[in-house]
Amino acid sequence: DAGITQSPRHKVTETGTPVTLRCHQTENHRYMYWYRQDPGHGLRLIHYSYGVKDTDKGEVSDGYSVSRSKTEDFLLTLESATSSQTSVYFCAINGDSYSGNTIYFGEGSWLTVV
Amino acid sequence: RKEVEQDPGPFNVPEGATVAFNCTYSNSASQSFFWYRQDCRKEPKLLMSVYSSGNEDGRFTAQLNRASQYISLLIRDSKLSDSATYLCVVNQGGKLIFGQGTELSVKP
């Protein structure tokens, strides 16, 4: 199995509190991604990174920020969580910009905002 | 308009049936294409890449039509174990965009 882990795997938090999800890889892959998945929407890209300190917005970036200070870690932060951010969050890594042979997903982080 | 769109589901088919999924993408600069499979509450996993010449892996056949900007997946002789959600994915120079997924349910 590819070396990608997400933490925490499950979290319940209150509206208005900050939350940080961590994605850690041991593959030294260049690209890292955060997606959220909700019923009827598939996986929607929140932010992705194409290198240390290089990030770009995805389709649903409002309310989220990211940081990548080193190759192995990609952090997703909800500055002030809202109930609409209750979702399953998947991290992914990718070794190159073309083939699909090096794309791997974490097991997901279930976040509930009450 | 979403960048990647798939057939709405769910598809309910009997064992042994042939089922086809289609997916369209809007960015003509998209470079590579994939089909992923996702089981309930699990992470997506690569099913197969999609090449312009078409490619086959056992009961699965994928096709890409760059001119019309769509990709397809054909599953022959469906098995109960094929029940899952199928996601098409487009790689735009490292940015991976997913379709919303099509749920397949294969019944005995």
pLDDT digits (tens, 9 = 90+) for A70-90: 999 999 999 999 999 999 999
Q: Is A70 on the interface with B (CB under 8 A)?
A: no
pLDDT at B105: 96
C-alpha span between A6 and A91 (Å, rounded):
7
pLDDT at A1: 62
Q: Do B46 and A103 touch (CB under 8 A)?
A: yes
Determine the residue of chain A that is closest to B96 in CA distance.
A45
pLDDT at B93: 83
pLDDT mean over B75-89 = 97
Q: Å from B12 to nearest chain A CA? A: 17
Instruction: Output the six-digit token pair for B108.
Output: 């005995």
**Higher pLDDT pick, B51 / A20:** A20
pLDDT mean over B53-62 = 93
Quick one: B45 exposed, middle or buried, by C-beta within 10 A (0-12, 13-18, 19+)? middle
Determine the residue of chain B that is closest to A89 in CA distance.
B43
Helix, strand, coil in percent for chain B, rounding step 5: 5, 55, 40
Taking all residues of chain B, what is their mean pLDDT, rounded to a whole number?
A: 93
Instruction: Count residue pairs from A and B with Cβ separation < 8 A.
Output: 65
Taking all residues of chain A, what is their mean pLDDT, rounded to a whole number?
A: 93
| Helix (H) or strand (E) run with residue B98 in it | strand B95-98
